[in-house]
Amino acid sequence: MLDLTQIKQQAMETEPYRWAFLNGLFSTADAAALATTFPRDRFKTVTGFDGEKSYRYRSRSLVHMGATSPTHPESLSPAWQQLAADLLSPEFRLAVQRISGLSLTQSPMEVNVFHYGPGSWLGPHLDLKAKMMTHVLYFNENWHHKDGGNLAILRSSDPADIVAEVLPVVGNSALLVRSNQSWHTVSRVAEGCHTSRRSMNVIFHLPDSVSTMWPPGENPVLETYADE
For residue range 52-80, what is the model confidence (pLDDT) as tens digits? 677 889 999 999 999 999 999 999 999 99
178 is a domain residue: yes
196 is a domain residue: yes
221 is a domain residue: no
Per the structure, how many domains does the chain have? 1
Range of the domain at 81: 5-205
Q: Of 39, 47, 5, give the one whose Cα is nearest residue 22.
A: 5
Q: State yes or no: pLDDT of 213 exceeds 90.
A: yes
118: amino acid identity, one letter = P
pLDDT bin (cut points 50, 70, 90) of residue 173 is: very high
pTM attached to this predicted model: 0.95
pLDDT bin (cut points 50, 70, 90) of residue 96 is: very high
Whole-number pLDDT of residue 228: 56
107 is a domain residue: yes
The share of the chain scoring above pLDDT 90, in percent, equals 93
16 is a domain residue: yes
**Residue 158 exposed, middle or buried by CB count within 10 Å (0-12, 13-18, 19+):** exposed
What are the strands, taking DSSP E only, across the chain? 19-22, 44-49, 54-63, 109-116, 121-125, 131-138, 151-154, 162-166, 173-177, 184-186, 197-205
What is the distance between the alpha carbons of residues 219 and 6, in angstroms, rounded to a whole number? 38
- The CATH number linked to 13 is 2.60.120.620
End-to-end CA separation in angstroms for the chain: 30
153 is a domain residue: yes
What is the distance between the alpha carbons of residues 114 and 45, in angstroms, rounded to a whole number? 10
20 is a domain residue: yes
142 is a domain residue: yes
The mean predicted confidence, pLDDT, of the chain is 95
